[in-house]
Structure 1
Amino acid sequence: MIEVKDLHKSFGDTEILKGITTNFEQGKTNLIIGQSGSGKTVFLKCLLGLFDYEQGCIAYDGKIFSKLSDAEKRNLRAEIGMVFQGSALFDSMTIAQNVMFPLKMFTKQSKSEMEDRVNFVLKRVNLENAHNKMPSEASGGMQKRVAIARAIVNNPKYLFCDEPNSGLDPKTSIVIDNLIQEITDEYQIVTVINSHDMNSVMEIGEKIVFLKNGYKEWEGSKDTIFKTDNTSVTDFVYSSNLFKKVRRMYIEENE
């Protein structure tokens, strides 16, 4: 579990995060949503340890990040997998080399052990025949699956995804959502997803944290979001006619 208590983050005189308290549970897909400028990207970077913060704390399974030594922080980072918005693959490396990169950085495994692990995770994301391809030869959906394979190659306890469906068509987005949820459940990872995709919210939002103007405005699940009377949430989630219709159908079926 990742626990966040009274988190404050400012840049100069501008306070971005204003006392956020929440937690992200193991084995669940936890989504952070909100409009541009709500603070969700800054929040994600604080969770990753990329930004310091002025007040509050973040604890990974009881270990408070700010109190860890440099060596302990490095060990913790070895337990974190990250899927970047643009996949962030190395253009000069093959797909297999991209996936192997974290193993070389964080482990002392032999070459054969690393190759076995790369083979395993590429098969897990249905890319068992893509080892020698270059990223430029892969579609956007394939690149995201490579990024997921690289993120889980170290058997992480924590998986962070920044807009994993950005730039993908709706059908491929569903494939990526389902893959992330399957991996989260299968390996019982704490998965945190920064997303603006309402299809993802409705499909895999087992825990949803909605930010507005740096505050935690609401939290719940894909089921309870249908029932909320919080107008900030409903205005954001049901901004399209499609989701307004879905909400009406849900309310009518459960009256």
Structure 2
Amino acid sequence: MIEVFDLHKGFNGEEILKGITTNFERGKTNLIIGTSGSGKTVFLKCMLGLFKPEKGRICYDGEAYSEMEEEEQRSLREKMGMVFQGSALFDSMTVEENVMFPIRMFTRQGKEEMLEKANEAISRVNLENANKKLPSEISGGMQKRVAIARAIVTRPKYLFCDEPNSGLDPKTAMIIDNLIKEITEDYNITTVINTHDMNSVMEIGEKIVFLKNGYLEWEGDKTQIFKTDNEAVTEFVYSSNLFKKVREAQLKGL
């Protein structure tokens, strides 16, 4: 579990995060949503340890990051997996080499052991026949799967995903959503997903945190989001045609 207490973060005198308090549960897909400029990316980077908050605490399974020694912080970061918005694969490396990269960075395992773990992760995302291919030789959806395999190859306790469906067609995006959810449950990971995709909210939104102008405006799950009276949330979700149709069907009792 990740617990956040009264988190504040700003840049050049402008406060971006304004006292956020929430938690993200282990074994669940936790989503952060909101419009551009709401603070989603800054929030995610604070949890990754890339930004240092001016005030507040972030606790990982009861341990506050700000109270850890430098070596303890480094050890914690090794337990984090990250899926970047653009996949961020190394163009000159094969799928297999890309997935092995974190193991090489953080461990001193032998080549055979690294290959075994890489192949296990590649198999988990259903890419068994793509080991020797370069990123340019596979589709965007397959690249996302490679990024997920690389993020889970070290069996992290915490998985962070920044817009994992960016640039994908709806069908492929749904496959990626369900894959992330399955891995979260199978490995019992605390997964946090930064997204603007309302289809993702519908599919895998077990815990949803809605940010507006740096404040935590609302939190709940994918069923509760239809019932809220919060005008900011209603305005945000109604911008999606999918949400309009679902809401209308619910009101009609269909």
Q: Distance in 2 between matches of 1:241 and 1:174?
A: 17
**Offset at residue 242 of structure 1 (A):** 3.3
CA distance in 2, matches of 1:11, 1:177: 32
Once the 2 structures are TM-superposed, how far is the Cα of residue 239 of structure 1 from its aligned partner?
1.1
Q: Deviations over 1:7-41 (max 9, x none)?
A: 00011211000000000000000000000000001
Matched, 1:96 2:67: no
- C-alpha displacement at 1:230, in angstroms? 0.7
Secondary structure of 2:175's match? helix
What is the DSSP-based 3-state SS (H/G/I as helix, E as strand, rest coil) of the residue aligned with 1:253?
A: coil
Deviation at 1:248, TM superposition (A): 2.0
Whether the aligned pair in 1 keeps the contact of 2:8 and 2:16 (CA below 8 Å) is yes
Deviations 1:144-190 (A, max 9, x none): 00000000000000000000000000010000000000000111100
- Greater shift, 172-181 or 67-76, is seen at 67-76
Matching residue's letter, 1:91: D
In the other structure, the counterpart of 1:11 is: 11
Moved more, 111-120 or 140-149: 111-120
CA displacement at 1:253 relative to structure 2: 2.2
Displacement after TM superposition at 1:252 (Å): 3.1
Provide the C-alpha distance between the structure 1 equivalents of 2:71 and 2:251, rounded to a whole number of angstroms: 52
CA deviation after TM superposition for structure 1 residue 92, in Å: 1.1
Looking at structure 1, the residues matched to 32 and 12 of structure 2 have their Cα atoms a distance apart, in angstroms, of 24
Contact 2:207–2:219 (8 Å) recurs in 1: yes
CA distance in 2, matches of 1:252, 1:2: 38
Structure 1 residue 138: Cα displacement: 1.2
The verdict on how the C-alpha distance between 1:248 and 1:92 changes in structure 2, with shifts beyond 3 A counting, is same
CA distance in 1, matches of 2:192, 2:244: 26
> What runs of 5+ residues in structure 2 fail to find an aligned partner?
none
Checking the alignment, whether the CA contact within 8 Å between 1:226 and 1:251 is kept in structure 2 is no
1:122–1:128 contact (8 Å) kept in structure 2: yes
What secondary structure does 1:3 align onto? strand
Between the aligned partners of 2:97 and 2:240, the Cα distance in structure 1 is: 42
- Give the aligned residue type for 1:221: D
Compute the RMSD of aligned alpha carbons: 0.9
Q: Secondary structure at the match of 1:129?
A: helix
User: Counterparts of 1:119 and 1:97 in 2: how far apart (Å)?
Assistant: 10
**Which residue matches 2:229?**
229
The match for 2:247 is 247
**Partner of residue 168, structure 2:** 168
Per the TM alignment, residue 226 of structure 1 is displaced from its structure 2 partner at its CA by 1.1
* Aligned equivalents of 2:162, 2:96: Cα separation in 1: 22
List per-residue Cα deviations over 1:49-104 (Å, max 9, x = no partner). Answer: 00011100000001111111111111111110000000000111111000000001
Alignment of 1:209-220 (within 5 A): 209-220=209-220
Q: Is 1:105 aligned to residue 105 of structure 2?
A: yes
Q: Is 1:68 the counterpart of 2:68 in the alignment?
A: yes
Gap change, CA 1:150 and 1:241, over 3 Å in 2 = closer
Q: Which residue of 1 aligns with 2:36?
A: 36
What is the TM-score of this pair, normalised by structure 2? Answer: 0.98
Q: Match for 1:9: what amino acid?
A: K
1:175 and 1:242 mapped to 2: Cα distance?
Answer: 18
Q: Which runs of 4+ in 1 moved over 4 A?
A: none
Deviates more, 1:108-117 or 1:211-220: 108-117
CA distance in 1, matches of 2:151, 2:237: 29
Secondary structure of the residue that 2:225 maps to in structure 1?
Answer: helix
Match of 1:86 in 2: 86
Q: CA deviation at 1:109?
A: 1.6
Question: Which residue is 1:191 aligned to?
Answer: 191
Partner of 2:58: 58
CA distance in 2, matches of 1:121, 1:86: 19
